[in-house]
Structures are given as C-alpha cells and as structure tokens.
C-alpha cells in the first residue's frame, strides 16, 4: 500500500512509563512489534511503579536517566544511542522534550540512519512568548523529525501562532481509555462527593480545594465530601488536614480502574484545582463534569483544553481562585438540572476523545498500516506470558 510504513518494529522512547500510557502501547503492538524504552520512576513522585505491558510483541528496555546539568536541561537516558545503532528499529517515536539531550541525539541518529522519527509532545502551547534561540531550536526540531505529533489541536495551533509551517504537524488527541467508565444514566443525582485524581504536589492546589469546600460546608450548609485518589510529596500535609476534617476521604494510590469507578459513584463532580493533565479525561469518563482553572498554558498538559467551558465542565478564574472556584462548585452543587446536562456532555466528550483510541491515532500519524488479526496478538494484561526484559547497557 502506497505511503504505508511496513515497519517490523516500532521503538517508543519515554522518560517514564505512566499508568495511563500502558494500554496504548499494548494496542500499538497490534500493528507491529514494539520496543519500549523508559527510565525508572523516581521514588516519592506519586507516579507509582507501573508494571510494563505484558505482551509477547512488546520488548522493554530500562535505562537510567543521568542529570549532569541538573533537573532542568541536558538530561540523558543512558544507552539509547547504543540501542538505536544496535537494534535499528523501523520507526522511532520519542517524547518531544527538547530539554533532554537524548532527544537531540535520537532525532539526529534517526536522520543519519534513515529511520523515520516522530516526536510527540506539547509543542509551544505552554509558551507565552519565545525568543530567537528558542525559535531556532524549534525550527531545527521540525527539520529533523519526520513529523511532530501534537497532543491536542491547541498544540498544533501554538506552532502556527508563532509562524511555524504546519506541513509536519499532525494531531493525535491525547487520551486514555477507561475500561470501567460510568455512563451518565448510572448516576443517581444524590451524590455529594467531589473527586480529585492525581499526584499530591504543591502545583495541584488540593489545599485550595479543601479551603473552598470548608467554606461551602460552613456558609452554605452543603454536606459535600472530598475523595482524594493519589499520593506524592504533599500527601503528609493533606493527611494532617484530614485528621480534623472527616469529610476528607483519602484513598491513597489507586491504579485499579474498577476500584476508582466504585469510589466515583459517591461523587457528582471532578475537580483539579491546580495544573491538570490526563486526570481530567479520567473524571470525564466517570460522568463527572470537571472544574479546573482557565490558565491553559500553565497546566501540566493540554488535556484541560478538551473541557468545553460551561458545557461539560467549568474553568474558574485563576486570577481570583478562592472566590471563582467557590462559585463554580457551589453553582453545580445547587443546580441539579444543569449538573445533569453537564454530566451528559462530559461523558460524550470523553467518548469522542477515545473513538478512535490514541493507539489508532498514533498508527495513522506514523502510517503503520492495518492492525494484526487478534489471533496473532497476545491478550491484554492477565495472560501467562512474561514480557521480554532487556537492559540497555551503557
């Protein structure tokens, strides 16, 4: 078929292996064999220790990340250059973080060795302005890669807004498939809980949410509760706050989707008061309208741009967080008709994001061709086969 990459092996390079990406990589193995290269998760970050996908068509390589220049720039995933020379994968897809020295060595090697290399990233959407050197760097990036796969339309638009050509830009809406969703018809309308899913760190502002809910309970007499799923460096502070507030229910680190579904059945709303990412989509899949702030460029990722403000969720004013978040939550807690409409819209928006799934969007962007027959591919997690583990050596 003309224009199709008939690659026998796709190499995916990630800084870490997240729980959300697990199923996407499993599904990509239905198109071709996959080499998954990633570094161990640092302790105490709230990411947890995600088991690599179990599938005989996926091989994974665990490499250390070196930081000779600190945490901000010049990070090296040691052994990746040697892997590319030795293994010669048919296609490379790499996390598009230009602060990693490994990113530049990989795209350069891809260019030199004739390996189609795709970057996948946030682009410029977090940038309020760019200087001449940054513009030169992004120009070089676009020249070196086969294509830049944008997380969301807002990412593609950010390149265009800064005057970059769009020929190498494509979009694969960043999404996660929840195998245990909650359709809106399964909500009772009597739920009083608000759900937070994510890492507990300062930028996520769970402390702000606690303050606002305390005000609503005191001033408006609404018996709202807060369900928190996650852990991280701020966990001990939240545990201290919860001692005197029995309406704060800490579930800790939960990755089991069915358990998260059960917790969500007590909730009518999802709230991520700080800088959010894919968690907003998880909450949408549970028929929870999501409330988060409106400074999209400050978010962890572009996923909050998928929230249709006033339709499937609310974006509160980040310049007046206390009052604006209070009004947003209170307005939905006291208007069941509006809440029911938003609940329906949130779930429909989630369905739009995952149909087709992210794996199919990646496959289309990289022209991987058609999926293998299901009989040729291993089952999803729970099968007996052990994944292949190879350590990339220095």
Q: Residues near 196 by Cβ (< 8 Å), separated by ≥ 6?
A: 206, 209, 226, 227, 228, 229, 230, 270, 271, 272, 273
- For the chain, the residue count is 394
Cis peptide leading into 394, omega within 30 of 0? no
Domain map of the chain by residue range? 9-175+357-391, 184-352
What is the distance between the alpha carbons of residues 247 and 250, in angstroms, rounded to a whole number?
10
What is the distance between the alpha carbons of residues 312 and 338, in angstroms, rounded to a whole number?
10
Could you tell me where the DSSP H helices lie in 145-249? 153-161, 206-215, 235-243
CATH number of 184-352: 3.40.50.2000
pLDDT score of 60? 84
Asked if 9-175+357-391 and 184-352 have one fold, the answer is yes
| Residue 389 φ then ψ, to 5° | -115, 120
Whose CA is closest to 250, among 265, 271, 228? 228
Assign residue 210 a region: left if phi > 0, alpha if psi is -120 to 50, beta otherwise?
Answer: alpha
Assign residue 219 a region: left if phi > 0, alpha if psi is -120 to 50, beta otherwise?
Answer: alpha
**Contact present, 232 and 41 (Cβ < 8 Å):** no
pLDDT score of 375? 27
The pTM score is 0.84
Chunk the chain into consecutive blocks of 10 residues (it has 394) and report each block's average pLDDT, rounded to whole numbers: 61 87 85 91 58 75 91 91 93 95 96 96 91 95 97 95 95 93 96 95 92 97 96 89 94 93 97 94 97 94 95 97 97 97 97 94 86 37 32 37
Spell out where the chain has E strands: 9-13, 33-38, 58-62, 65-66, 76-77, 91-95, 117-121, 147-150, 169-171, 193-197, 225-229, 248-252, 267-272, 290-293, 313-316, 388-391
Check if CATH label 3.40.50.2000 holds for domain 9-175+357-391.
yes
pLDDT score of 389? 37
pLDDT score of 5? 55
> For residue 276, what are the CA distances in angstroms to 41, 305, 391?
19, 10, 33
pLDDT score of 327? 97
Continuous segment of H or E residues that includes residue 345: helix 336-354
């Amino acid at each position: 078929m003309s224009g199709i990459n008939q690659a026998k092996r796709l190499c995916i390079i990630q800084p870490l292996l997240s729980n959300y990406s697990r199923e996407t990589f499993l599904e990509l193995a239905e198109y071709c064999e996959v080499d998954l290269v990633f570094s161990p998760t640092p302790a105490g970050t709230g990411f947890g220790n995600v088991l690599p996908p179990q599938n005989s068509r996926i091989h994974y390589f665990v490499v250390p990340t070196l930081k000779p220049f600190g945490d901000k720039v010049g990070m090296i995933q040691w052994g990746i250059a040697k892997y590319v020379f030795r293994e010669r994968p048919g296609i490379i897809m790499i996390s598009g973080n230009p602060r990693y020295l490994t990113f530049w060595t990989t795209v350069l090697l891809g260019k030199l060795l004739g390996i189609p290399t795709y970057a996948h990233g946030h682009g410029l959407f977090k940038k309020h302005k760019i200087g001449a050197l940054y513009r030169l760097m992004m120009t070089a990036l676009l020249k070196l890669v086969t294509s830049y796969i944008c997380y969301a339309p807002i990412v593609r638009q950010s390149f265009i807004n800064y005057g970059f050509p769009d020929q190498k830009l494509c979009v694969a809406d960043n999404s996660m498939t929840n195998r245990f969703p909650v359709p809106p018809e399964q909500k009772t309308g009597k739920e009083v809980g608000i759900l937070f899913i994510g890492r507990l760190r300062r930028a996520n502002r769970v402390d702000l949410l606690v303050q606002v809910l305390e005000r609503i309970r005191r001033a408006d007499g609404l018996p709202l509760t807060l369900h928190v799923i996650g852990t991280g460096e701020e966990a001990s502070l939240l545990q201290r706050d919860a001692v005197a507030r029995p309406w704060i229910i800490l579930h800790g680190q939960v990755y089991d989707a069915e358990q998260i579904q059960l917790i969500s059945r007590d909730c009518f709303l999802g709230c991520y008061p700080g800088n959010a990412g894919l968690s907003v989509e998880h909450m949408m899949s549970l028929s929870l309208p999501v409330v988060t702030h409106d400074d999209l460029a400050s978010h962890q990722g572009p996923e909050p741009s998928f929230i249709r403000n006033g339709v499937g969720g609310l974006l509160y004013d980040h310049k007046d967080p206390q009052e604006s978040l209070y009004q947003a939550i209170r307005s939905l807690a006291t208007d069941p008709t509006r809440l029911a409409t938003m609940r329906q819209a949130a779930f429909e928006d989630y369905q739009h994001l995952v149909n087709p799934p992210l794996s199919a969007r990646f496959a289309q962007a990289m022209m991987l061709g058609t999926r293998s027959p299901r009989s040729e591919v291993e089952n999803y997690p729970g099968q007996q086969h052990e994944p292949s583990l190879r350590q990339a050596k220095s």
